[in-house]
Amino acid sequence: MSGTVQQNQQDITESEDSEFTRLIDQALSRRQFIAASGSLGLGISMAGFMAASPSAEAATSSLMGFKQVPASGADTVIVPEGYIAEPLISWGDPIFKDAPMFDPSGNAPSSAQERQFGDNTDGMSLFPLAEDRALLAINNEYTNYGYLFSHGGKPLTADEVKKAQAAVGLSVFEIARNNGHWDVVLGSKYNRRITANTAMELTGPAAGHDLMKTAADAEGRTVLGTLNNCANGQTPWGTYLTCEENFNGFFGSDDNFEQTADQKRYGLKSKDRYDWHKFDSRFDLSQNPNEANRFGWVVEIDPMDPQATPKKRTALGRFKHENAALTVNSDGHVVVYLGDDERGEHLYKFVSKQRYDANNASANRELLAEGTLYVARFENQDGELKGKGQWLELTQGKNGLTAENGFADQAEVLTFVRRAATQVGATTMDRPEWVAVHPSGKHVCCTLTNNKHRGKKDNQPVDGVNPRANNKYGQIVRWMPTDGNHVSDSFEWDLYLIAGNPAVHTEGLNAGSGNINADNMFNSPDGIGFDEAGRLWIQTDGKYTDEGDFAGMGNNQMLCSDPSTGEVRRFLTGPIACEVTGLAFTPDHKTVFVGIQHPGEKGKPSHFPAGGDSKPRSTVMAIRREDGGVIGA
């Protein structure tokens, strides 16, 4: 998130703690009033609901000093008064001196895209080089064929597949600041494209296993490429973590293809989204069924060394990874929280076997190679939207993960970890997206973005942490590790925020929690991160129809919240049909980089960022204050 990695150094001050308690008390007195006015649907009482949610009315945030922006349907990025938002880089901009400029015709060859910024910016991290110089590592999640090719459809030639493979992955490049304004350093020695064809090493328990072996890689240790790089993480030893999410959409087949149960669980099927298999047999599930086992991992990259081989970390499990929220526990174990973004999937935690040693850089480099993976079970009293929880260990031989139950070894547990999570009794969640650890280390938040299957599918009943059937708006769950110890098997949890529309729904959970009102409402929280001062930044990837259940919410947006009061304020609105995703602060917190992904998706009328009749392009924005102050303060 910020340039410095979160460790358990700062503590929430005494006054902040008691302030929080006071606010909860005020919320409780308000709740009695609301509870008296009638019970809610779903059999959940407002008592638990209000007890779980900080009151918005109770206090004004001391952390947030900006004036909220209204909801917007405009085709631009809007920031508060006194702020400046400028594009830093857009899809197709060159990052090497020999790269051509962006060609809007869609006819440019793969060789151009290989030397340009990839498509659909997502998670990103900043690595400082000096006060006014840094590297950005930025994911390029996927590509929109409607804009990538002049014909606007699926690839028609082998080079079009290669071009799509070069549009995804990630981009690393240097940036420099001059008078507050940041520019890309074209041709810096650090600049690098990592694509669906870059060689990477499999590490950890699944490396070299039969499940990883293919015709091209008999050893099962070398993979070409990374796919659907959604969000990210950053380590205190200076590496970048990129997370492979919907990799299944890149694999398909035209042949008769018998889908296994594991392929089904991971969404691998003959009809895919991108049609690469037609020109690249590596992505044909009939010909190379194991190739898909080599995706769905967290990948660790050294941004300082453009020659370094990225490492896929199989110890962190294979699923549709959203981000990787890393914290160093007080005992030195590295803990990584991980969401699996699919309806009814799970929330995970990795604990490293070895301990972080600030004086042993090379040993830290392999901390993510070995450790223990856990999955969350949330528990609550009937009618309460808070409770306790357990981390269930996912180790072969324990908790029913035995050969008789289909788990022959740890490689199989990790490769099909969704199945293992079901075996141990994990809670099915409303699509876990990003996780963020508060700088104090005392609490952790995860966005549960929405879930139309909740209350409809047998394995996804309405429960405390996922309290709405057909969840359209999403919520943010917060948990407190027992004794502040992230290695502990237990935690307490509540709902920090329940998104909703109080203008459309006057009662019940769809009105949202007490900190949501007609002026700050939104749907589908996705990207989140704490800055150094503890502000929680929330980005949305939701419905932008501005109608019906979503009336008054406008385009996707970024909000800020003060965890000590629960107050939420809208900070930014995005252009037409975009998602706001990815954020990175400079170490001085005077600039925040924010990603605008897929403006104009599905042919919607966006011309962001250039305006006029231009083709819409995914863009990273640099946002700063006119007075040079700290963002959000």
Strand partners, 493: 387, 479
Residue whose C-beta lies closest to Ca ion: 541
Say whether residue 280 binds Ca ion (CB under 5 A).
no
Q: Which of 535, 492, 467, 528 is nearest to 50 (CA)?
A: 467
Closer CB to ligand FEO, residue 76 or residue 143?
143
Among 93, 141, 494, 562, binds ligand FEO (CB under 6 A): 141
The 3-state DSSP class for residue 205 equals coil
Among 244, 245, 272, 494, binds ligand FEO (CB under 6 A): 245
Closer CB to ligand FEO, residue 424 or residue 499?
499
**Binding-site residue total for Ca ion (CB under 5 A)?**
3
Distance CA 434, CA 400 (A): 29
Q: Are 419 and 444 in contact (CB under 8 A)?
A: no
Say whether residue 341 binds ligand FEO (CB under 6 A).
yes
Q: How far is the CB of 568 from Ca ion (least distance, A)?
A: 19
Distance CA 298, CA 321 (A): 7
Say whether residue 433 binds ligand FEO (CB under 6 A).
yes
**Binding-site residue total for ligand FEO (CB under 6 A)?**
6
Strand partners, 448: 432, 475
Q: What is the CA radius of gyration of the chain?
A: 23
* Helix and strand counts by DSSP (H, E) for the chain: 9, 28
Closer CB to ligand FEO, residue 141 or residue 463?
141
Per residue in 174-198, is it b (16+ CB within 10 Å) or e — as a string? bbebeeeebebbeebebbbbbbbbb
**15, amino acid identity:** S
Strand partners, 584: 593
- What residue has token string 């962006």? 102
Q: How far is the CB of 433 from ligand FEO (least distance, A)?
A: 5
The 3-state DSSP class for residue 304 equals coil
Among 114, 280, 284, 526, binds Ca ion (CB under 5 A): 526
Contacts of ligand FEO in 214-243 (CB under 6 A): 230
245 binds, among ligand FEO, Ca ion, none (CB under 5 to 8 A by kind): ligand FEO
Distance CA 426, CA 422 (A): 6
Q: Which of 507, 519, 441, 522 is nearest to 476 (CA)?
A: 522
- Within a 10 A sphere around the Cβ of 43, how many other Cβ atoms? 10
Contacts of Ca ion in 531-590 (CB under 5 A): 541
Closer CB to ligand FEO, residue 427 or residue 540?
540
Q: How far is the CB of 243 from ligand FEO (least distance, A)?
A: 8
Say whether residue 562 binds ligand FEO (CB under 6 A).
no
Q: Considering only 5-13, 413-421, 519-527, 618-626, which stretch makes contact with Ca ion by CB under 5 A? A: 519-527
291 binds, among Ca ion, ligand FEO, none (CB under 5 to 8 A by kind): none
Q: How far is the CB of 140 from ligand FEO (least distance, A)?
A: 12
Q: Are 245 and 230 in contact (CB under 8 A)?
A: yes
Closer CB to ligand FEO, residue 141 or residue 275?
141
28: enclosing H helix or E strand: helix 14-36
Closer CB to ligand FEO, residue 44 or residue 230?
230
Say whether residue 601 binds ligand FEO (CB under 6 A).
no
521 binds, among Ca ion, ligand FEO, none (CB under 5 to 8 A by kind): none
494 binds, among ligand FEO, Ca ion, none (CB under 5 to 8 A by kind): none
The beta strand positions in 304-370, using DSSP E, are 311-313, 321-328, 333-340, 347-355
Closer CB to ligand FEO, residue 580 or residue 622?
580
Give the chain's largest Cα–Cα span: 69
Closer CB to ligand FEO, residue 450 or residue 564?
450
Contacts of ligand FEO in 293-332 (CB under 6 A): 322
For residue 363, the number of C-alpha atoms closer than 13 Å in the C-beta half-sphere is: 12
Site residues (vs Ca ion, CB under 5 A): 433, 526, 541
Residues that bind ligand FEO (CB under 6 A): 141, 230, 245, 322, 341, 433
